[in-house]
Structure 1
Amino acid sequence: MALRQQILKMVNFLPTMGNSKGMSSKPDKSSFAKSMKPLKEFKRSRIPKISVVGAGQVGTAISCMLLLRNLTKNLVILDINYELAKAEALDFQQASAFLNDARVVPCGDGANSKNSDVVILTAGARPSGKDRSRLAAMKKTIEILKEAVPKLVKLSPNATFIVISNPADVMTYAVQRIGKLPKHRCFTTGCHLDTVRFRNLIADRLRVPPSQVHGYVIGEHGASAVPVWSSVSIAGIRLNDVVKSLACGDDPENWAEINGQVTTGGLAVAKTKGYTNWAVALTCTDIVQAMCGGKGKVASVGTDMQGLNGIKDHVVLSLPCLVTAGGISHVFELPLTDVEQGKLLASANVLLEAQCSLNL
């Protein structure tokens, strides 16, 4: 009887202890919240149906990874070349027993994409003909998006749009304007891949697992990307604290060479293959997986960052973001050195100039 009474006292005491003033396990609001900027219109959602727009090398690779990771049971492969979309969908569907009985549907006019939860845009033009410039290809891609995006938005008004089409930052700006989409539901994987390359290269030098290297690349997903060396850490040790002139000044260990390797990694692959697909497919799939998970993931992805880290204009570029179901819920303002801040603003200017050339 005495033991029973003692247990009852403990049971009755526990809730009181948790609610007592000063004894709560979680503070009402941490001062760290100042670094997390919420996106006002964000709402959490679920991810049962995904449409991949473009059945080329990148679109097919993304479709493959989504299915292998069991992130959807309802996948739509959409391409203006319906026969190509049909062939790719059939190829997957014939092996559906190995893909957890996923349903893979081809589409040529967008109709089958109706009520998608995620729309992944990979469609675009490659440089061709007499004018093989990046700008010429960009303008051709814009024409494709002007025709496709309004239909896709009308069919799936609540979808989150992930833009992979090149150049990804500028195309995301275009899709946001063309589709009149809020920035938390229309973004690009941006510097998430650059960040992974950055961590891999550092890990290779230090002979540690890449997953244990923490740091980000921000800005443009391209030549003006900014590796944030000041935030790199391994096992809680800031690399900047133990390496003299890290990637700057005399740089006796020549860490700065990694900067170039980060931004030219894709070119090294494309030079031989003629394109890149697997790394960007895994990058996109990692973001979708974060959206399907419970608490999401912090990744350097790109959307309109006006008002953050000193950026005054409407410019799409990458900063660390919390990506979860429903898109981007928060953006993290990294503490940058003066040099890094200057490079970020220079990257923003490069992208702003490209955006202005679109005449949207």
Structure 2
Amino acid sequence: MAMKKDPSGTSLAGLDIAGAFFAPIQQSAPASPPKPHIKISIIGTGNVGMAIAQTLLTQDLADELALVDALPDKLRGEMLDLQHAAAFLPRTKIVASTDYSVTAMSDLCIVTAGARQIPGESRLNLLHRNVALFKKIIPSLVESSPDAILMIVSNPVDILTYVAWKLSGFPSNRVIGSGTNLDSSRFRFLIADHLDVNAQDVQAYIIGEHGDSSVALWSSISVGGVPILSFLERRQIAYEKETLVNIHKEVVNCAYEVIQLKGYTSWAVGYSVANLAWSILRDQRRIHPVSVLATGFHEIDCGEVFLSLPAQLGRSGVMTVINVPISDEEAEQLRSSAKTIMELQEQLGV
């Protein structure tokens, strides 16, 4: 029988392992050709936007960083404050303007801008105000950087990623929501803390909506490559499902606690988004749970909806979605979340 050789010369059975492991995404476009000059634009210079900017600068990822905000004085102040740190950072050109032309020829546009919820305001009304804001932001970014990848961080991130996709006209692989990448980091931290190991040695995913209806993939948890639940079952070590449920609840409540204590979240989301930017712009092809066009995956058939799934990220944006096994219960939770989001989207008129 003819054998298939991998690039290293090792003989493999005639199986398309990559084809079985990864699923192609819909409406995909190829990667932009690599450029020697990398430019990132951040829209919104609030606490989240500036945490992202600061983290990106320390990682020497961009040659140029452009900041956009509607408040000119604050914007100039933030730009100057970063520029004054030039002696302590890798060389990066930092520019800022209220005019979107400053974002021209960006490789990655990160949107953190969003309307603040007024006390007593409904979620739907807040969404309508954010859609109106995005109708100004997204077309301006597309005009200035038609080959860019859009990353949406503004909340509710799944719906606003869908809105950005519709307004941009971009193929779905070039519009990404930060999704549950941070939720998954919190999940990994809590498991690592529980087991007293390094969080980098923990593999675990939260998928679905970035919010209360997120889904914890318990079967995905491994420590040092060892799947935890199957290990416990093989060793006949008892564990209570309630313990798992409580860990997930803690993941959901983490952000609320931080907001209650300090007024906002910033540093963790800054590191999370910089982590995604690195995978994309350095073509790392790493797996991240991010908000992607989820229609067709795990029998989600309620319409065009963005939810977080483990996706491979590279220079073209979302390259593939990993075929991660999930239980019937997890799949049902995912589909229920998709229907809830779809009901809100249908009222937006986008």
- Please report the TM-score for the alignment, with normalisation by the length of structure 2: 0.90
Structure 1 match to 2:20: 34
Which of residues 18, 37, 43 in structure 1 aligns to 2:31?
43
Contact 2:186–2:251 (CA under 8 A) maintained in structure 1: yes
Map of 2:90 onto structure 1:
100
**Mapped pair 1:25 → 2:14:** no
**Structure 1: distance between partners of 2:49 and 2:180:** 19
CA distance in 2, matches of 1:335, 1:351: 23
Which residue is equivalent to 2:259? Answer: 270
What SS does the corresponding residue of 1:309 show, helix, strand or coil?
helix
Choose from 69, 73, 90 the match for 2:63. Answer: 73
Unaligned runs of 5+ residues in structure 1 are 1-18
The corresponding residue for 2:178 is 189
**SS of equivalent residue, structure 2 residue 140:** helix
**Is the counterpart of residue 292 in structure 1 residue 293 in structure 2?**
no
Change (3 A) 1:134 1:26: farther
The 1:202/1:90 distance shift into structure 2, 3 A limit, reads same
More displaced stretch, 150-159 vs 335-344: 335-344
Q: Could you tell me which amino acid in structure 2 is paired with residue 229 of structure 1?
A: W
Q: Which residue of 1 aligns with 2:298?
A: 309
The match for 1:6 is none
| Structure exhibiting the larger radius of gyration computed from Cα positions | 1
The answer to whether the Cα contact below 8 Å between 2:179 and 2:209 also exists between their aligned partners in 1 is yes
Once residues 252 and 319 of structure 1 are traced to their aligned partners in structure 2, the CA distance between those partners, rounded to angstroms, is 23
Asked whether 1:155 is paired with 2:144, we answer yes
2:229 paired residue among 237, 240, 245 = 240
Query: What is the CA-CA distance between 1:29 and the residue it aligns to?
Result: 5.3
Aligned twin of 1:211: 200
Rounded to whole Å, the distance in 2 between the matches of 1:156 and 1:26 is: 44
2:38 counterpart of 1:52: no
Q: Distance in 2 between matches of 1:231 and 1:98?
A: 40
CA separation of 1:243/1:96 partners in 2, compared to 1, >3 Å: closer, same or farther? same
Of the three residues 182, 189, 213, the one matched with 1:200 is 189
Inter-partner Cα distance in structure 2 for 1:233 and 1:344: 22
> Given the alignment of the two structures, is residue 259 of structure 1 paired with residue 248 of structure 2, yes or no?
yes
Instruction: Give distance in 2, aligned partners of 1:55 and 1:261.
Output: 29
For residue 32 of structure 1, report the CA deviation from its aligned partner.
Answer: 4.4
RMSD, aligned CA: 2.3
**Residues 290-333 of structure 1: CA distance to partner in whole angstroms, max 9, x if unpaired?**
12324331000011111112111211001000011121111112
Q: Is the 8 A contact 1:41 1:184 kept in 2?
A: yes
User: What's the CA shift for 1:45?
Assistant: 4.4
What is the TM-score normalised by the length of structure 1? 0.88
- Number of matched residues? 337
What residue is the counterpart of 1:281 in the other structure? 270
Q: 1:231 aligns to what SS in structure 2?
A: strand
Which residue in 2 is equivalent to 1:328? 318
- 1:96-136 Cα distance to aligned partner (Å, 9 max, x none): 1222221110110101111111000001001126x433322
CA contact (8 A) 1:319 1:333 kept: no
Letter in 1 for 2:10: S
Structure 1 pair 148/20, CA: closer, same or farther in 2 (3 Å)? closer
Q: What CA distance in whole angstroms lies between the structure 1 residues aligned with 2:178 and 2:275?
A: 9
Partner of 1:181, secondary structure, is coil
What is the rounded CA distance, in whole Å, between the counterparts of 2:83 and 2:310 in structure 1?
Answer: 36
Aligned to 1:137: 126
The answer on whether the counterparts of 2:32 and 2:147 sit within 8 Å (CA) in structure 1 is no
Give unpaired runs (5+ residues) of structure 2. none
Give the superposition deviation at 1:250. 8.3
Work out which of the residue numbers 189, 193, 209 in structure 2 matches 1:220: 209
- Which whole-Å CA distance do the structure 2 matches of 1:138 and 1:340 have between them? 27
Distance change >3 Å, CA 108–CA 215, structure 1 → 2:
same
Which amino acid letter does the alignment assign opposite residue 82 of structure 1? P
**Sequence identity percentage:** 32
Q: In the TM superposition, what is the alpha-carbon distance from 1:185 to its structure 2 partner?
A: 0.5
Match of 1:357 among 341, 347, 350: 347
Matched residue SS, 2:244? coil
The one-letter code sitting in structure 2 at the alignment partner of 1:49 is K
CA distance in structure 2 between the aligned counterparts of 1:228 and 1:297, rounded to whole angstroms: 18
Q: How many Å apart are 1:150 and its aligned residue?
A: 0.6
Q: Are the counterparts in 2 of residues 124 and 166 from structure 1 also a CA contact under 8 Å?
A: yes
